[in-house]
Amino acid sequence: MKNRMQTLVGVLILYPLLSASLISSDQVEFDRAAQAFLSKHCLVCHDSEAQEGGVSLEGLKTVSVENSDLWKQIWEQVSLDEMPPRDESFRPDALERFKFSQRITEGLVEALKDVGGFRLHLHPSKGNHLDHTLLFDREYLAGQLEPPSTPARIWRIQPQEHLTRLNALINLEPVFDARKPGVRTRGDRILPNPQGEVKVYFGLDRVIGWVGGSAAYAAAITGFSPVLSTEDAHGLRNYADQYSVNASEAVQIAGLAEDILKFMAYGPDAEEYQFADKVSEIDAKYKHGDLRGLAQSLFYSKEIKRPLTPVYELVQDGGFTADSKARAITYLFEALTGRPPRAEELKKYVSILERAVGDLGQEEGVILGLAPIFLDREAVFRVELVNYGKPDQFGRIMLQDDELGLAVNAAFSYLPPDKTLKQSIVQGRMKTREDAAREVARILADPEIRKPRILQFFREYFDYDRAGSICKDTPALNSAGGDNKGTNHYTTMQGMVSHTDRLVELILAEDKNVLEELLTTNRVVISPGTDVRYFSQLEKLVKKLPKVPKGTKLTDADRGYVDLPKGKNIHVRVPQVVKNGRTNRTLTELPLDQRRGILTHPSWLVSHSDAMDNHAILRGRWVRERLLGDSVPDVPITVDAMLPDEPRETLRHRMRVTQKSECYRCHRKMDPLGLPFEMFTHAGLYRTTEMGKKVNTRGEIIDSGEEGLDGPVKDALEMIDRLAASERVHQVFVRHAFRFWMGRNETINDAPVLRAAYQAYRDNGGSMNALLKSLLTSDAFLYRKVSELETRN
Amino acid sequence: MFNRRNILQGMAAGVALGSTTLGSTALGSPRFGRVAGGSPKRVVFFLQNQGFDPATCVPAGMKESGSLSGAELPEPIRPLEPYKDKLHIINGLHGRHTSPSHSAFFGALGGYRGGIGVPPAGATIDHVVSGQLPETLLPHLCIGMDAIENMISRPTLATLSAADAGKPVFMHSNPKLLYQMLFGGIATGDVKRKFEARSNVFNRIEEIAQQSSTTLPPSERERYGGYVAGFREINGLREKLETVSDHLRKFAPEYGDKIVKPKFETDWHDSLLDIGIASLKAGLTNVLTIGSGRGEIFGSWKGLGIVPAGHNLGHMKQPGNPIWIKIRQYNCRMLVKIMKELESIPEGDGSMMDNTLIVYTSNNADKQHTSGANWPFMLLGDLSGTMTTGRYTSVRGNRPINALYATLLHAIGAPCDRFNMEKSIAGKYDSKLGPIEELLA
């Protein structure tokens, strides 16, 4: 038994790198282990005679292309403890399930390697397939697991990181203002424009006027959207192994590079008449209404406002010198990759630049010749390759110098390292765990260093940032209490996402009981003019508004809106493209008998809704995965996952179809957790009735894995309170933070890192800073491993 | 006699970029070999976003299947009136299994469940057809039309076509870039000079990218390899196109103001169509996919005098709506242009159009917020006499869009019983096995 265990542990630790060779030489052992597991736990119901659910596992052999679909199902069922059913006596324990599911994934990886591969287990949505108890319950496989590390890798940079760096090349952004810490500052994420598009614009800071209104201005100004793509899905969206850069993205980057370089060199692409000190100086013939929305309708200050960089110097008369070439290349390389070019890199890019200028002349050649820097490997991938140093006894090498500095920097920032971190790298003070700890603590303590990555984690963890892109059917929005005039609903939702961002930042700044606060606080940031409606009660909205004397405005009370305390002034970010946008909002409090925490804010509720109604399944799935650390198997392709189209019935009634026996095995994990949110409409308004009757908000926490947590709940508020106090929920939060910052799913080897991070969070009063310090100085973050097998290859 | 198709097909042999190997899909699509012999065939797919309301294409009063000869086409598709004998209007297919509300995305041509951000679950019909037809330099060209800002900022996008599960095929939306890619080698003056300078730079970028891969672990080399392969693909295609430059010169569209200085987005829509047609005429491709609105819920047609743009267009009812009449008529004028241009090129005893089929529909079935219970199509052309024309067909029974796609495969000589639909799901969604017989000649 001991020998077998040791063999198995070896497979676990080195997986997936060595799995292929071990499995191929061990098929007999796989069959034997599979047979033993299936016989003991599965065949009672799934032999050739019983075939429950039409599934027979009798005689099932080593994973192959032909039987891989069946093995994938077994993998999910076993990993998630779905099978055998919970009322059976022959259920395996967590460790048995883990060992068998590991064997299956190894088998799938090997069997499918030539037909598209198997990577499902590495996807963020499958992180919870590793049983929570194996990480936090006690130390499993004590003394038999190698210490944590992460494979040596390249990590395609985040789309927002890419965009923010490109933006910094062409726009001067405001510096940090301690009096208004929430306003947009250099290094912040790029926000979507009022139409919902995330875009960086050329020459925004130089525009002094335009023809037409704000819509015409938005149409006239030129910009670009993210080139790099991410999965447009709920949950964590950017693991290191998820993305590459495809041919079309590379072509787009090349084209965009030329546009950016042109702007850096020559400024806005505009006619002479468009430049003036004042708009009044411009001839009236250029202000004709027909020009609205066209690039020619924008007027620019004569004063140059964009960053004047060495690229600008390079195109000046007599500016194309050896020194200026090197300066321009060094500047761009560092701005795009985060580090200065090495001598051989500089030489290479000088030669490309000179050739292009030879072909096209200085004016155009500089643009084409500098564009390849935007396509350098490190301009689109951050490298963690540890091609230095001596591996420890486990084959691990610690990140150092550039790689460590850039990894620490990327944990917080989208821009290249600040001056202090840059000096630490150059001076050889980024080599040890203590060096990393020093920089992490320094960055966390400095509010001037923007940390959009931390906010991005909360966006991906909570998924409240999708509200503005959930399309609503107009009549359905109307009946849910939303604002159906024009695009009001969508712009309000975009704004609400920013307001939730600000609330998150506020709670992070306090750094006390962070998750619990986010789940239960009655504080809220609002724009009173647009948001109060959405925090109101549906039944109290006044359907027929009273007539008021001319010049008098309707009050919130006239409209039946909720009466919120006056609150305090607070500042938020507004999109770059909004000229002179007001940044002040209100920090106020919500009635605790109706709402508490982000899960009761319209931004989260609408993000988890669809065009016509609430999405109780999605909401329940969120609670199941992000708070309880469990998962739901993928919907089989043969399942018609549609609710009946019965507009006069409640969602709860329409969801009766999920209670069919073949559906409810999975839906029982989601529906009772999502239906308590029926106390809100799909626009996020509080309600007490539905279809003329008292709304049913009952639900239940089932199979949570924590003693005392299970049981019925009367509504979402009771459920949230109970979950917010759960130790398991906080541990699951730590698991998600681990995944986000390590860029991969945790393995059983990472259990000590997770336990330490949770302890740091808990012992420091729910401090996110403490959690991050722990994670970012852990072995999982610092060590990279290239197996011997890979090195030989 | 000069036979451009033979030359191009010969050129394409062994070109990695042009090869289309259909792997197994998540849905178990049948594997096909290329169709051998027979008359040359080509298929154009045209998908307008935001839905295709049947009331805007089915002639008034026409309830049952029958000839279109005595019928008057509804106003939105009236430009097709002179081509009624080539037209086949199909009503009553469904795509309930594709989640088409807002857009089925890849599911519209794949016949499987799609959704925003959902990767393709299998090859789409356009790519499968391209894999069946004789190999060309560009086995499958996709073009996408959108608001000009979007076409500039995102000149390529993949939402409709896929080569396999998880393998989207990108559509081109910037005619400047597409022109330079396909016809840059035959251009003169400034375009040529830039094309050559850019070629030098891209070759260097490929070299640098290739050098950077040598220090990577094998597991990462594969992922990074996709990046390097992108440059190889771009550079390889350019070299292949240069070798047939004399031939391409005869078909290249004008590189004029419409491309260089577009006044409206429709100038670029027209330019993209011209490049697509030129690619068909030159034999660069046998399959052209046109995504008007690029499979999403946006789009802009200011050049037609339509002020509203984007998502709100989809919230409007289409029948009797002057905005949608303009958009649909514009689509139809494009269809007419394709037909006229292909009719102008002799092929065999007739013209290229005789061997062509145009498939027109929406990636949203009948409307923006739809269950997909009805998914209208229009077919134009008889594809070398294999398809019936001049008819309206109200589909009998419960037949999904997959059945139409299976029918197309029959027509090009690669028969299959079902396209991208497993038996287990077909029991619920398809009342019959095999093609839609009424459509086959």
SS3 letters across A499-546: HHHHHHHHHHHHCCCHHHHHHHCCEEEECHHHHHHHHCEHHHCCCCCC
Q: Are residues B158 and B290 in the same domain?
A: yes
Residue at which a domain ends, from B245, B269, B288:
B245
Walk across the sheet containing A207-210 and list its strands.
A207-210, A298-301, A275-276
State yes or no: pLDDT of B31 exceeds 70.
no
Q: What is the spatial distance between Cα A365 and Cα A354, in angstroms, rounded to a whole number?
A: 8
Taking only the tens place, the pLDDT of each residue in A105-143 is: 988 988 888 877 888 899 999 999 999 999 998 888 888
Contact A611, A477 (CB under 8 A): no
Across A244-253, A587-596, B306-315, the highest mean pLDDT is recorded for: A587-596
Taking only the tens place, the pLDDT of each residue in B79-132 is: 999 999 999 999 999 998 888 888 899 999 999 888 776 678 889 999 999 999
Residue B207 at interface with chain A, using a CB cutoff of 8 Å: no
What's chain A's length in residues?
793
Q: Are residues B76 and B211 in the same domain?
A: no
Contact A189, A289 (CB under 8 A): no
Contact A57, A104 (CB under 8 A): no
Q: Are residues B94 and B223 in the same domain?
A: no
Instruction: Residue A152: list chain B partners with CB under 8 A.
Output: 217, 220
Pick among A637, A643, A646, A787 to test the B interface (most B CBs inside 10 A):
A637
Q: Are residues B46 and B115 in the same domain?
A: yes
**Full domain range(s) for residue B417:** 4-183+252-439
CATH code (residue B50): 3.40.720
Is A154 close to B166, i.e. CB distance below 8 A? no
pLDDT given at position A641:
64
Q: What is the spatial distance between Cα B368 and Cα B103, in angstroms, rounded to a whole number?
A: 7
**CA triplet A250, A251, A253: central angle to 5 degrees?**
65
Q: Which amino acid is at A329?
A: I
Enter the pTM of the model. Answer: 0.80
- Among B193, B218, B424, whose Cβ lies nearest the Cβ of A360? B193
Contacts of A482 (CB under 8 A, 6+ apart): A472, A489, A534, A681, A683, A684, A685
User: Alpha-carbon torsion B82, B85, B86, B88, what sign?
Assistant: positive
Q: Are residues B152 and B281 in the same domain?
A: yes
Residue at which a domain ends, from B245, B268, B284:
B245
pLDDT given at position A791:
40
3-state helix, strand, coil in chain B (%, to 5): 45, 15, 45
Taking only the tens place, the pLDDT of each residue in A439-454 is: 999 999 999 999 999 9
Q: Are residues B283 and B200 in the same domain?
A: no
pLDDT given at position A13:
39
Instruction: Residue A371: list chain B partners with CB under 8 A.
Output: 201
pLDDT bracket for residue B1 (50, 70, 90) = very low
When pLDDT is averaged across residues A285-301 and rounded to a whole number, the result is 79
pLDDT given at position B360:
98
Taking only the tens place, the pLDDT of each residue in B302-314 is: 899 888 777 678 8
Q: Which amino acid is at B223?
A: R
Cα distances from A604 to residues A161, A484, A500, A597, B43, in angstroms, run: 24, 19, 9, 10, 45
Q: Specify the number of domains making up chain B.
A: 2
pLDDT bracket for residue B180 (50, 70, 90) = confident
- Supply the Cα-derived Rg of chain B in whole angstroms: 21
When pLDDT is averaged across residues B328-332 and rounded to a whole number, the result is 98
pLDDT bracket for residue A205 (50, 70, 90) = confident
- A158: tokens are 């985040």
Q: Tell me what ipTM this predicted complex has.
A: 0.80
Q: Are residues B117 and B237 in the same domain?
A: no
- Tell me what percent of the residues of chain A surpass a pLDDT of 90: 63
State yes or no: pLDDT of A659 exceeds 80.
yes
Q: Which of A343-347, A557-561, A663-667 has the lowest mean pLDDT?
A: A663-667
User: Alpha-carbon torsion A684, A685, A691, A697, what sign?
Assistant: positive
Q: Where are the beta strands (DSSP E) in A223-352?
A: 223-224, 275-276, 298-301
Q: Are residues B54 and B128 in the same domain?
A: yes
User: Alpha-carbon torsion B246, B252, B254, B256, what sign?
Assistant: negative
A612 to chain B: closest CA residue: B369
Is B223 close to A611, i.e. CB distance below 8 A? no
Count other Cβ atoms within 10 Å, centred on residue A669.
23
Across A282-286, A389-393, A766-770, B207-211, the highest mean pLDDT is recorded for: A766-770
Residue B166 at interface with chain A, using a CB cutoff of 8 Å: yes
A17: nearest Cα among B219, B225, B221: B219
- Tell me the longest C-alpha to C-alpha distance in chain B: 71
pLDDT bracket for residue B153 (50, 70, 90) = low
Q: What is the spatial distance between Cα B109 and Cα B158, in angstroms, rounded to a whole number?
A: 13
Asked if the peptide bond before residue A84 counts as cis, ω within 30 degrees of 0, the response is yes
Q: Are residues B135 and B284 in the same domain?
A: yes
State yes or no: pLDDT of B158 exceeds 80.
yes
When pLDDT is averaged across residues A74-99 and rounded to a whole number, the result is 86
Contacts of residues A95-98 at CB distance under 8 Å and 24 or more positions apart, as own/partner, are A95/A134, A95/A140, A95/A141, A96/A37, A97/A131, A98/A130, A98/A131, A98/A134, A98/A748
Residue B319 at interface with chain A, using a CB cutoff of 8 Å: no
Q: Which amino acid is at A318?
A: G
Q: Are residues B203 and B291 in the same domain?
A: no
Q: What is the spatial distance between Cα B368 and Cα B101, in angstroms, rounded to a whole number?
A: 6
pLDDT given at position A18:
31
Q: Are residues B312 and B432 in the same domain?
A: yes
Q: Count Cβ atoms within 10 A of the Cβ of residue A580 and give its class: 0-12 exposed, 13-18 middle, 19 or more buried.
A: exposed
A230 to chain B: closest CA residue: B117
Pick among A72, A248, A350 to test the B interface (most B CBs inside 10 A):
A248
Taking only the tens place, the pLDDT of each residue in A775-790 is: 999 999 999 998 644 4
Is A471 close to B311, i.e. CB distance below 8 A? yes
pLDDT given at position A21:
32
Number of H helices, E strands in chain A: 35, 17
Q: Are residues B19 and B100 in the same domain?
A: yes
Asked if the peptide bond before residue A16 counts as cis, ω within 30 degrees of 0, the response is yes
pLDDT bracket for residue B46 (50, 70, 90) = very high
Question: CA of B101 to nearest chain A CA: how many angstroms apart?
Answer: 9
State yes or no: pLDDT of A537 exceeds 70.
yes
Instruction: Compute the count of residue pairs across chains A and B with CB atoms less than 8 Å apart.
Output: 160
Residue B35 at interface with chain A, using a CB cutoff of 8 Å: no
Cα distances from B241 to residues A698, B4, B244, B284, in angstroms, run: 66, 13, 5, 9
SS3 A608: coil
